[in-house]
Chains A and B, each alone.
Chain A
Amino acid sequence: MTAIHLIFPEIALCALALALMVADLFVAPKHGRLLYHLAWLASIVTLCLIGLSISDAARYQGLGSLWSVDPMSQFFKMLVLLTTVLSLLMGLEYKDLPPARAGIFVSLLMFASTGMMLLVSSVDLLLTFVSLELISISSFILTGFEKRNPKSSEGAIKYFLFGAFSSAVMAFGISLFYGATGTTKLLGLTQAQTGGPLFILGLLLVLLGFAFKASIAPMHFWVPDAYEGAPTPVTAYLSIAPKIATLAAMLRLFAILLPAKVFDLTTLFVLLSALTMTIGNFTAMFQRNVKRLLAYSSIAQAGYILIGLVSGTVVGMEGVLLYSFIYVAMNIGAFSVAQAVASQSSGADPYGLESFDGLSQRSFGLALAMTFFLLSLAGIPPLAGFMGKFYIFQAAVQSGHIGLAALGLVNSVVSVYYYMAIAYHMFFKPAATEEPLSIGPYLYGGLAVAVAGVIIFGIYPEPLIASVQTSAQYNLP
């Protein structure tokens, strides 16, 4: 069954990315910013195409042989594109990127996004693998894009080595999977095909590949170095888009196509989730660098989202969608503030916690915004992060995983300690300089969107929950 029209938005984004790459040759370096503008406009155009596919479901949604285009995949594609737009806005204000390579930078970002869009729709392990590679290879280059910064190169190398290893593992897993079932298709697997040792080993290795991209423990070791070294807009992007896209792919594979009644992996996921959030939170406590701190925090956040996957119910699935949406707003916001603060820091480590000293005196609004993002990440009401956690823990309690919910809650208490460490520097420490902190218009715009999201959906989450409930629908053969 050919259903190429279903992935029209992906094709469009890819084509626009190629066009921008070519355009790079004809645009003088001093006009490099123009390409950023074109890139985020292109992402918005693609976003509109996705919107179209949602509004006219009968024509633009359906099941192909490799991909399934359904409300759930479209929801995640919109999140990925939203993240792309916001990261590009951050990139416009980021000073350390070489202007001569603007076209390459934005097109790589768009290629990665294309990969994620394909990934969330994929129902065939081959397409899954190819799209994961597209994401990975683009991300490796993006991480090392700040050529003059040795940390950037270091992060990229570590990321690459770890990534290449896990790709190999995943490819091996897929081959075993093929050996066991005779197909790489994930649709219509019967109970007879599943359960053999070959199948189990194959599936576990595939899971390892996913865990690498979603930074799930024990495959999280690359995260802090890569996140610290990468240019901040890329860090923000990497901490959100690949993670939620991979979690969406895991949701599709392990909760929909291979639900617990066909092949039960619940215990394994409980362990992974518990391990991920605990390791993330307890390591984050000792970080002195904001990017590393947020890196570990993002590991912990992946652990929370996994709880929704564990419960395996519709509510759990909705929880994953809801939390992912809120996660975009709060994480991009936190990284935006970090970028703004570091850009005007004179300290030895611009991303050190000391750079935040006395921020409330220099710019109360920015400090307050950061506080909102941090509290939201910690899950304190009335901010959106609380609603996300509430929904996820609700799913866990409903499906009987009370122990996991309790562990998640204890973890949120722990997380307050390190999130508040940033607030401590912003509010309690005297400022080194009284000079007010200025932020550029694009960063300001992105921040305004993020703050609005974190506050509005915290106080009135109903529209978001309603849209999540309609989006938690998927195609089954």
Chain B
Amino acid sequence: MPILTLITFLPIAGALVILCLPKEAEKPIQITALVSAGLSFVLSLCVLYGFDRAQPLMQFMENADWIPSMHVHYALGVDGLSLPLVLLTTFVTVLALISSLGIKERIKEYFFWFLVLEAGMIGVFEALDLVLFYVFWEMTLVPMYFLIGIWGGPKKEFAAIKFFLYTLAGSVFMLLAILAVYFNSTPNTFDMLALMHQHVNWSARFQILVFLGFYFGFAIKIPAFPFHTWLPLAHVEAPTAVSVILAAVLLKMGVYGLMRISYGMLPLGFAWFIKPLIIIATINIVYGALCAMAQTDMKKMVAYSSVNHMGYCLLGIAGLTATGFQGAVMQMITHGIITGSLFLLVGVIYDRAHTRDISAFGGLAVRVPTYAGLMFLACFASLGLPGLAGFISEFFCFLGAFQAWKVYAAVSVLGVLATAAFFLRMMEKVFLGPFNNKWAGLTDMNARELASIVPLTVMTVALGVYPKWALDIMKETLIYMINTPR
């Protein structure tokens, strides 16, 4: 059974069904969306069950001719690097869809675009052919444009087109790089696995140029300094569930590409860029945290904290050690889970209070204890409190990078401090202190909100207490990637 194809295209099937339903049929549309995304999630759990953790190479591979005259294949597969990300995508999408049940306007279009988006994201992590990878990569743009532009906040139109153009500008250079590797491989191929062995024939100059082409595409998605300027705007304007997807999955596409393609295919280019990369990582960490500290809007604060957290990923990668790589992948997963729940939580308060201004609240913990508890937990996880998921991944990232980059790692620790500072300040201002009577009518979370957030909280604790379970999935692949003679 082509299980990966099913995982990827079940959402598309759901989207097509939704397209055929009349727009008044709101319940059937919601059910279709949840069922198709849910099935996709269940199937990805099946893949996890059948996944051989001792095997570092690609598993569940599927390969078929797609465009033989251009040597393009339809090739899918997962290994320890991509499987966790596929799981993250299907998991978070289901929860985001649950939280989207609160959407009241233009339900048909919303769920249609959401499912198309999911298919694109899953495909990016599974594709083993550069053209297929590019097609999936671009497939995420259009749905995102509509999701931000229709259901977003006050400046949604501008945020949507800025996101679209910014990301597209990056990816066209990626396309050029893809063509360059195609014509410089013998025999000409887009097969990512075959291209991993081609670098021996490529000069350093060529690899550097191609690396830069890919890097533009990836850096904008990550987002790595100085290409991060689209992110706060898009995150703040996007509706809650879309911010969740944006933070939890879309940013990971960039890091994934950096590890899979830039590191795997272009060792000389990567080696040339390692110094700038560690500097960018440090800037992301420190600058991201400082920017977050300056925000008064909770959502914008969480958005900048994403810049900071992606910096840890880059830090782990730049260490070029198995530990660092594990840290980076683990950080992608934990950031997806934790930031996902943070965005959902911010959405909860915004739905009720119609403001996200930190100083507008005060003492809310008395009024909404469940909400406050979940928020505290997510914030503590995000700032890296031991025992919760965020700590493990950040620790691994620092551990992996420390050997090679002592100074940069030390500077980056400042970022951790700043992160703690802004999260604690937010918790204090919003939940503690004297109760602001303006919010006396505030109600605690309802069942839909709990259903979308509690699973993430459970995962946050579970991964914090017993990370070995997740680390084991990726370990062999990442060790193999580091140790392959290059």
Contacts and interface: CB of A to CB of B under 8 A. Distances in A.
To the question of whether A and B form a pair in one complex, the answer is: yes
Interface of A: 360-361, 364, 368, 371, 375, 380-382, 386-387, 390-391, 393-394, 397-398, 402, 405-406, 409-410, 412-413, 416-417, 420, 423-424, 427-428, 460-462, 465-466, 469
Interface string B250-282: 000000000000000000000000000000000
A381 B23 CA distance: 27
Contacts of B173: 406, 409
Interface in B54-84: 65-70
Contacts of A423: 145-146
Contact of B109 (A360, A397, A417, A462): A360
B420 to A, nearest CB: 40
Contact of A397 (B19, B139, B165, B180): B180
A412 B135 contact: no
Given A381-B138, A410-B169, A462-B68, 7 more contacts: A405-B176, A409-B173, A427-B150, A428-B157, A460-B66, A462-B65, A462-B66
B175 interface: yes
B108 A409 contact: no
A468 to B, nearest CB: 9
B145 A409 contact: no
A344 to B, nearest CB: 20
B363 interface: no
Contact of B146 (A416, A427, A469): A427
B164 interface: yes
B385 interface: no
Contact of A417 (B142, B165, B175): B165
Contacts, number: 88
Interface of B is mostly: helix
Interface of A is mostly: helix
9 contacts: A380-B168, A381-B135, A382-B139, A386-B135, A394-B179, A460-B66, A462-B66, A465-B69, A469-B69
Given A364-B109, A409-B172, A424-B149, A397 B161 contact: no
Nearest to A412: B172
A371 B19 CA distance: 15
Nearest to B69: A465
B145 A420 contact: yes
A462 B70 CA distance: 9
B164 A420 contact: yes
B480 interface: no
B141 A428 contact: no
A342 B138 CA distance: 31
Contact of B149 (A405, A427, A466): A427
Given A381-B138, A427-B150, A410 B172 contact: yes
Given A381-B135, A420-B145, A461-B67, A397 B179 contact: yes
Given A417-B165, A428-B150, A381 B139 contact: yes
Contact of B165 (A391, A398, A413, A460): A413
A8 to B, nearest CB: 32
Interface string B103-126: 000101100000000000000000
B350 interface: no
Contacts of A387: 67
Interface of B: 19, 23, 65-70, 106, 108-109, 131, 134-135, 138-139, 141-142, 145-146, 149-150, 156-157, 161, 164-165, 168-169, 172-173, 175-176, 179-180, 182-183
Contacts of A364: 23, 108-109
Contacts of A420: 145, 161, 164
A405 B139 CA distance: 22
B234 to A, nearest CB: 15
B15 to A, nearest CB: 11
Contacts of A409: 172-173, 175-176
A462 B161 contact: no
Given A381-B134, A416-B164, A465 B176 contact: no
Nearest to B67: A462
B135 A382 contact: yes
A205 to B, nearest CB: 36
A219 to B, nearest CB: 28
Closest 7 CB pairs of A and B: A409-B172, A381-B135, A397-B179, A465-B69, A381-B138, A413-B169, A413-B168
A375 B179 contact: no
A424 B150 CA distance: 9
A166 B169 CA distance: 38
A465 B67 contact: yes
Contacts of B145: 420, 423
B157 A375 contact: no
Contacts of A427: 109, 146, 149-150
A410 B70 CA distance: 23
A7 B108 CA distance: 53
Contacts of A393: 175-176, 179
A394 B179 CA distance: 6
Given A416-B165, A462-B69, A380 B142 contact: yes
Nearest to B65: A462
A26 to B, nearest CB: 47
B141 A380 contact: yes
B237 to A, nearest CB: 12
A402 B178 CA distance: 12
B138 A417 contact: no
Contacts of B179: 393-394, 397, 405
Nearest to A365: B19
A359 to B, nearest CB: 12
A471 to B, nearest CB: 13
A409 B142 CA distance: 17
Contacts of B70: 390-391, 394, 465
A391 B182 CA distance: 13
A311 to B, nearest CB: 12
